[in-house]
Amino acid sequence: MGGFFGAASKRDVVYDVFFGVDYHSHLGTKRAGLIYYDEDGGFQREIHSIENTPFRTRFEADLPDFHGCSGIGCISDSDPQPLLIRSHLGVYALTTVGAINNAEELVEGYFADRTHQFMAMSSGKVNSTELVAALINKLTGLGLEAYLGVGIAILIIKTGVEILQEALGKIIGRRIDSETALAIKETVCSIEGVRGAYDLVLTDYGPERSMGSIHVEVDESLTAKEIDRMTRRIQHAVLSKNHVAIHTVGIYSVNTDTTADDDTAKISNELDKIVSGEPFVLQTHGLYVDEAAKTALFDIIVSYDAPDRGAVLARVANTLKESFPGYKFTMTLDEDISD
């Protein structure tokens, strides 16, 4: 399997492509790559192995070096990609996902005039993306019949995608419909001890065959035994009422016994002001403040419509540091995938 994500805009799209590709990281465990294009700096590309290190961790250190208003990235279970191609068509980046069943036949056909070659991988096979690039370049020398064949093939593929889209849409990343998400969260919040429900993720395997995960806020004083009983009640309630199997219930520990004058309440109020004042900050949750250690942890959701999500995070961090200079804040960027 594999997955890819691309973006083109009038603004920088480094974070858009990074998080878009990260959303597909469950589709492959071998290699991943990112490539961006900037009119002044040209192409910038990195390809890494993700066999032992997750995509986000592997590529985070590269982000400061990337810049550009267009980019693509991929999760690959086979070939290293994206590739940077130079041909009579110009210089372009290419990534592919899928299987080429007649790859050897195409390669041999490309060798027919004895003036072409491919870079072989360690297995001796040809990189599928490089093969696709060769076929693209060869199209400019084909006759009318070949172009008609390509047009018909594109039409068939488009029709097939449209047929499969409805059936597979939710599996490959369609946003959970608002009514379903809110109904499940209402059920979860009705369980005694739950102070909030967030980060709902569902996978749809057909009618009455949905599975998912969710995070809940609970008092920091609860024991493991009490949390275990609570999560089991959550799973039973959601299955009975909403017909969804919740296989994982994540836990946010939140502060108890707070007063209006302590730092926990002040930081919470400051986050409320940030959400109301920052148009692209949709939500913060999971706040836990350790006043003795002077640390605070929380999750934050930034809209995909933000021109620069990284700049939004930086503004939030600076605001908190100015208001609470003695504290160390740890923010986790959550994805806006459900209401």
Task: Output the CA–CA distances (angstroms, integers) from residue 120 to 67, 113, 128, 131, in the order listed.
Answer: 31, 19, 11, 11
Integer angstrom CA distances of residue 67 from 12, 16, 63, 309: 6, 11, 8, 14
The predicted-structure confidence for 105-125, as pLDDT tens digits, reads as follows: 776 776 666 556 566 554 567
Q: Is 324 exposed, middle or buried (0-12, 13-18, 19+ CB in 10 A)?
A: middle
Instruction: Give the per-residue SS3 of 102-155.
Output: CHHHHHHHHCCCCCCCCCECCCCCECHHHHHHHHHHHHHHCCHHHHHHHHHHHH
Strand partners, 48: 32
158-187 pLDDT, tens digit per residue, is: 777 776 666 566 555 567 788 999 999 999
Point out the residues of the chain with pLDDT beneath 50. Answer: 122, 142-144
What CATH number matches the domain at 263-334, 3.40.50.170, 3.40.50.980, 3.30.70.1350, 3.50.50.60?
3.30.70.1350
Cα(31)–Cα(14) distance, integer angstroms: 19
Give the CATH number of domain 178-254; options: 3.90.480.20, 3.40.50.620, 3.30.70.1350, 1.10.10.1590: 3.30.70.1350
Residue 83 Ramachandran class (φ > 0 left, ψ -120 to 50 alpha, else beta): beta
For the chain, the domains span 2-99+129-136, 142-171, 178-254, 263-334
State the pLDDT at residue 296: 95
pTM: 0.52
d(CA 150, CA 317): 51
Closest CA to 271 of 259, 253, 257, 283: 283
Choose the CATH number for 2-99+129-136 among 3.40.50.300, 3.40.50.150, 3.60.20.10, 3.30.365.10.
Answer: 3.60.20.10
Domain pair 2-99+129-136 / 263-334, same fold: no
The answer to whether the beta carbons of residues 13 and 36 sit under 8 Å apart is yes
